[in-house]
């Protein structure tokens, strides 16, 4: 069976969290919007599901994943599904819910990172909200990055199975997502993230270990891994890094 992943074709964005899980699981998948239109793929295929009137339970926005007859939206919900299918989450209910809780908190961090450059409105250009962005980014650098990474550091320290993973003794989709969000912070806020990671060595070590996992390393070195850019969630505006 081949999964169909639907996300914007030119950015990592929230779809990257799903891609990392699929790559780690060695799952067969098609990145639909990046495929050829003559094969029924490309951006029109994404928009047909997003805006068409034939989907009983339409997703609000990409990413969404087709698994057989299921069409699943929202990054955390997709990862909850994949975690069960590909052993990227514990088998017991308490463990699965704990990984899901961590993922939802990481999603909060992702949203706050986005809002540093678009604090007033997502439909406005960055240049239309620079003063507000500078104020929002200052708090994000000073307070929010350390708070989020500090919480994740405590989770690693308190894991009964050791501090190599957030939950249990195996890699979970939360580990992969932590790697991705830290990679984004390093791109967008290199100075602030360097300071925060110096105080959270377990987080830094986990991210390095994820990058070295064979399937993840192969993916990061491939053309499938899109670069960060000023069109995605994590954007490098030097003035926002203090």
Per-residue pLDDT of the chain (242 residues; tens, 9 = 90+): 799 999 999 999 999 999 999 999 999 999 999 988 888 899 999 999 988 888 888 999 999 999 999 999 999 999 999 999 999 999 999 999 999 999 999 999 999 999 999 999 999 999 999 999 999 999 999 999 999 999 999 999 999 999 999 999 999 999 999 999 999 999 999 999 999 999 999 999 999 999 999 999 999 999 999 999 999 999 999 999 98
Fold classification of 93-241 (topology level): Glutathione S-transferase Yfyf (Class Pi); Chain A, domain 2 (1.20.1050)
Query: Domain 3-85 maps to which CATH number in 1.10.150.20, 3.40.30.10, 3.30.43.10, 3.30.70.1450?
Result: 3.40.30.10
Q: Where in the chain is the domain with CATH 3.40.30.10?
A: 3-85
Helix axes 93-115, 173-188, angle to 10 degrees: 10
For the chain, residues classed under CATH 1.20.1050.10 are 93-241
**How much is the pTM?**
0.96
Decide if 28 contacts 1 (C-beta within 8 A): yes
Q: What is the 3-state secondary structure (H, E, C) of the chain?
A: CCEEEECCCCCCCCHHHHHHHHHHCCCCEEEHHHCCHHHCCHHHHHHHHHHCCCCCCCCCCCCEEEECCEEEECHHHHHHHHHHHCCCCCCCHHHHHHHHHHHHHHHHHHHHHHHCCCCCCCCCCHHHHHHHHHHHHHHHHHHHHHHHHHHHHHHHHHCCCCCCCCCCCCCCHHHHHHHHHHHHHHHHCHHHHHHHHHCCHHHHHHHHHHHHCHHHHHHHCCCCCCCCCCCCCCCCCHHHHC
Residues comprising the chain, all counted: 242
């Amino acid at each position: 069976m081949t999964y169909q992943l639907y996300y914007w074709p030119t950015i990592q964005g929230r779809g990257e969290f799903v891609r990392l899980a699929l790559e780690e699981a060695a799952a067969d998948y098609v990145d639909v919007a990046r495929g050829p239109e003559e094969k029924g793929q490309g951006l029109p295929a994404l928009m047909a599901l997003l805006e068409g009137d034939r989907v009983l339970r339409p997703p609000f926005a990409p990413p969404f994943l087709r698994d057989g007859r299921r069409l699943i939206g929202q990054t955390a919900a997709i990862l909850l599904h994949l975690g069960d299918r590909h052993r990227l989450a514990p088998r017991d209910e308490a463990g699965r819910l704990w990984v899901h809780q961590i993922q939802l908190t990481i999603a909060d961090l992702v949203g706050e990172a986005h809002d540093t450059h678009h604090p007033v409105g997502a439909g406005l250009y960055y240049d239309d909200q620079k003063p507000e962005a500078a104020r929002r980014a200052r708090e994000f650098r000073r307070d929010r990055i350390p708070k989020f990474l500090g919480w994740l550091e405590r989770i690693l320290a308190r894991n009964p199975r050791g501090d190599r993973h957030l939950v249990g003794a195996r890699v979970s989709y939360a580990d992969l997502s932590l790697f991705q969000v830290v990679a984004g912070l390093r791109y967008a806020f290199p100075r602030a993230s360097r300071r925060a990671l110096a105080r959270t060595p377990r987080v830094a070590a986990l991210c390095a270990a994820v990058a070295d996992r064979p399937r993840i390393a192969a993916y990061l070195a491939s053309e499938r891994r899109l670069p960060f850019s000023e069109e995605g969630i994590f954007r490098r505006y030097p003035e926002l890094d203090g």
